[in-house]
């Protein structure tokens, strides 16, 4: 009887898995071990860690939430047999996009240094084989992810494009120490692989130290505030930011802190800052980034789903990454 039932199983399903069914990988992609990634355009890995935040915790749940939200686009693509992007008017062949999901990096909530070593090693293993897409986690996770990307790719010089409300250039805090989510960019610039002249920041707002503009000028930091975005337009700003980061470097790594988006749109984050990007501007950012072949790795950080009961923050986060990969691999 069981054999007869088993023989019929393949004829029961509709051939398209519903977005809320099945195992939740990013875009319902293949689950693969980090050592078995041949043939994939992009590989996703999560970092469920928020032990370095200075404000509201909860980003440890970001990877799970982003994966769950991404299943909608996987469902649409399977259901409709391909998609037309109504923003760009382009046909999108998601069958040309090969994605794997390695699950989550092992983290150690009470040991930040060991967690950083784990992140660095796992991202390096992915970067050696494919385009890494990292789901955070608090923004501290970007520094070891960046180092892992550079090491695994074998690059000596890597540019860095940061989409963010905050500069994350703290070099020490009497409360949080030298390494926390407010120091990730300083750690990137001080690494052997980059410097401030190859760091571009887009969407910065709120408050920084009294002499921050002088620091930016002296260090060579390519700074684009929200006022620049408002006055010049997001596409122009992002294109200049990429060009600056890519100049005389081997590749560009992108980090997108979801608090770059206005909290009226994306409230599910640890340090919300009024006056940010609209959803439309955020999508324009990743569309522009995805067109540049210099971009060879990316992360999306600081999604804290508990602060957004509508689930809109993780939905936008997933859409941003889907759009980035679409532009990079599926058009």
Annotated binding site for Mn(2+): 139, 164, 166, 168, 257, 259
Q: Judge contact between 153 and 127, C-beta under 8 A.
A: yes
- Give the CA-trace dihedral at 62, 235, 238, 258, to 10 degrees: -20
Helical spans, DSSP H, in the chain: 2-9, 62-80, 112-127, 142-153, 184-189, 212-219, 226-232, 234-246, 279-290, 312-329
The residue length of the chain stands at 331
**Contact criterion met (CB below 8 Å) for 157 and 193:** yes
Q: Which residues contact 155 (CB under 8 A, 6 or more apart)?
A: 149, 193, 249, 250, 251
Q: How many helices (H) and strands (E) does the chain have?
A: 10, 11
Q: In what order do the strands lie in the sheet with 158-163?
A: 30-31, 99-104, 42-47, 131-136, 295-301, 251-257, 158-163, 199-204, 222-225
Binding-site sequence positions: 139, 164, 166, 168, 257, 259
């Amino acid at each position: 009887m069981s054999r007869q039932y088993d023989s019929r199983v393949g004829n029961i399903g509709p051939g398209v898995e519903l977005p809320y069914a099945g195992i939740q990988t990013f875009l319902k992609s293949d689950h693969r071990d980090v050592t078995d990634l041949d043939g994939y355009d992009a590989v996703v890995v999560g970092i469920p860690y928020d032990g370095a935040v200075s404000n509201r915790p909860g980003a440890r749940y970001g990877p799970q939430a982003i994966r769950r939200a991404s299943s909608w686009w996987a469902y649409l693509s399977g259901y409709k047999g391909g998609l037309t992007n109504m923003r760009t008017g382009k046909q999108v062949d998601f069958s040309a996009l090969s994605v794997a999901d390695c699950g989550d990096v092992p983290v150690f909530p009470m040991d930040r240094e060991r967690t950083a070593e784990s992140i660095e090693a796992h991202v390096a293993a992915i970067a050696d084989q494919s385009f890494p897409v990292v789901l955070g986690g608090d923004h501290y996770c970007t520094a070891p992810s960046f180092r892992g990307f550079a090491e695994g790719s074998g690059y000596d010089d890597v540019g860095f494009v940061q989409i963010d409300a905050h500069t994350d250039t703290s070099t020490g805090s009497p409360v949080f120490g030298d390494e926390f989510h407010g120091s990730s960019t300083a750690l990137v610039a001080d690494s052997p692989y980059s410097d401030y002249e190859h760091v571009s920041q887009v969407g910065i707002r709120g408050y920084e130290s009294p002499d921050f503009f002088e620091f930016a000028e002296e260090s060579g930091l390519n700074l684009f505030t929200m006022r620049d975005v408002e006055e010049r337009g997001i596409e122009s700003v992002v294109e200049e930011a990429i060009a600056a980061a890519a100049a005389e470097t081997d590749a560009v790594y992108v980090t997108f802190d979801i608090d770059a988006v206005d909290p009226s749109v994306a409230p599910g984050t640890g340090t919300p800052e009024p006056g940010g990007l609209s959803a439309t501007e955020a999508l324009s950012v990743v569309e522009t980034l995805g067109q540049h072949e210099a971009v060879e790795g990316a992360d999306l950080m600081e999604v804290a789903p508990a602060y957004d009961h509508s689930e809109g923050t993780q939905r936008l986060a997933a859409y941003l990454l889907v759009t980035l990969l679409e532009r990079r691999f599926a058009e």
